[in-house]
Structure 1
């Protein structure tokens, strides 16, 4: 039944600016909306509404960096009737406001605005005791493709790669990584890099290689060890939204 979900994903990507509803997507798949909701969520990991929102915000990111359209105009183009609602959702899911995100294209390379949650404070400037975190995640990175950039690895509160991580680092694949100072709770570990699939023809443009693990439950002063394998992103995964992943890549470590 995955073909029903693939058809719905194609519809979302081709008509994201329209007021698509769960009822309409289920009707096009010729199944009940309750069955369609369960099937779509099982295959993609998110609800149709969250997938649609992610596609809209990905297009908004592209327009902010490649056009001079106002935020209000962009919000309408991607299917929002309220600029305020668009701005709030964009800020929550991307980690920067639309105006801040647009500055990414204007900043000097290496000087781009960077999400910096309190948990990511340097070791010589630890958070206050009330906000001190307790656990860590370590592991090994591998890849099914050729990695052409540093790998961003972060701990997020969603199985979608959105918002600001509570802890993040750069690493290499193959290689090891450590994510320190993670508060007790349930998290998802995301990794992303630019790369190329082994079967891709020579000269093919790099594409995202991604991996998601979770839920990972951090409790007490524990160190969780994970093996993460990056692979090309397929049609089932919603777009990458976190602004952290749009920072200017640094040179690959030796």
Structure 2
């Protein structure tokens, strides 16, 4: 049956991902990963990319930087020691890739998580002839608590390197919200959404309180704004780690029902996102 086969393939890819998390500090070959998944080398490489959105090599690199972030956060080991601990043989290569992925050098990231550096800021909107807009409609899981959602447009299926446009949306309740990201350069991009139900820096391997979604290879052009629909879901083992140093996402207090005046019209809560009218939920 197709569903059973798809489930078996996903389990095979998850075995390979578990192998990556266990052996990230060692040289890991495609042959080793395909054997851990019990798939042929060619079939494994193709299926891995279909399910995760990235190649096995890029997933491995993301895990290494992710674990470096964890070590910078939780230990006092030197940056050189950490670079070797996560599988790099060159401090220069590690520092360059970390900076490209996280948006800041390892030393600055360590200061950030210790509260001795400023929290990352959102990119400023730029109005230029070669830039367009992206209208994103985002839905939420049923009975989801109030969330603070980071929406960003990135050059990669892995949430890494600074975004070309981003916003933070306060979502109180389970109504879909629409936000517009302006100043997006014309081209092909990846739209990422991340939310947390409590104070979270996405620097752990898994977090059941983390919600994500992604839209791949979307095109922004001059003729019309990009329109994208997204639905947050709990993170999965097959989601690549989040590398970019996001602003801290604090969950919002429980939503308060708006007070109604004599005309029965509720007051505006003033959130960044706009609830869609006449929307329905399953």
TM-score by length of 2: 0.76
Provide the residue aligned with 1:172 in structure 2: 170
RMSD of Structure 2 on Structure 1 (CA):
2.3
Provide the residue aligned with 1:136 in structure 2: 133
Among 197, 213, 216, the alignment partner of 1:214 is 216
Structure 1 position 155, deviation (Å): 0.5
Which portions of structure 1, spanning 4 or more consecutive aligned residues, are displaced by more than 4 angstroms? none
For the residue of structure 1 that corresponds to 2:210, the secondary structure is: strand
Q: Which runs of 5+ in 1 are unaligned?
A: 197-204
Query: Which is worse superposed, 51-60 or 168-177?
Result: 168-177
Among 73, 86, 100, the alignment partner of 1:78 is 86
Q: Which runs of 5+ in 2 are unaligned?
A: 1-8, 199-206, 253-269, 272-282
Q: Counterparts of 1:21 and 1:225 in 2: how far apart (Å)?
A: 39
Among 190, 193, 201, the alignment partner of 1:191 is 193
Would the alpha carbon gap of residues 186 and 169 (structure 1) be closer, same or farther in structure 2, given more than 3 Å must change? same
Query: Which is worse superposed, 182-191 or 144-153?
Result: 144-153
Provide the residue aligned with 2:61 in structure 1: 53
Q: Counterparts of 1:172 and 1:206 in 2: how far apart (Å)?
A: 20
For the residue of structure 2 that corresponds to 1:172, the secondary structure is: strand
Paired positions, count: 233
Q: Please list, as runs of the form range in 1=range in 2, the aligned pairs for 1:12-31 lying within 5 A after superposition.
A: 12-31=20-39
Would the alpha carbon gap of residues 230 and 33 (structure 1) be closer, same or farther in structure 2, given more than 3 Å must change? same
Q: Counterparts of 1:166 and 1:57 in 2: how far apart (Å)?
A: 21
Q: Please list, as runs of the form range in 1=range in 2, the aligned pairs for 1:1-254 lying within 5 A after superposition.
A: 1-107=9-115, 112-114=118-120, 120-121=123-124, 126=126, 133-144=130-141, 146-173=144-171, 174=175, 175-195=177-197, 207-220=209-222, 222-243=224-245, 245=246, 247-249=247-249, 252=252
TM-score by length of 1: 0.83
- CA distances 1:155-196 after superposition (whole Å, capped 9, x unpaired): 001111111100000113342211101111001110101039
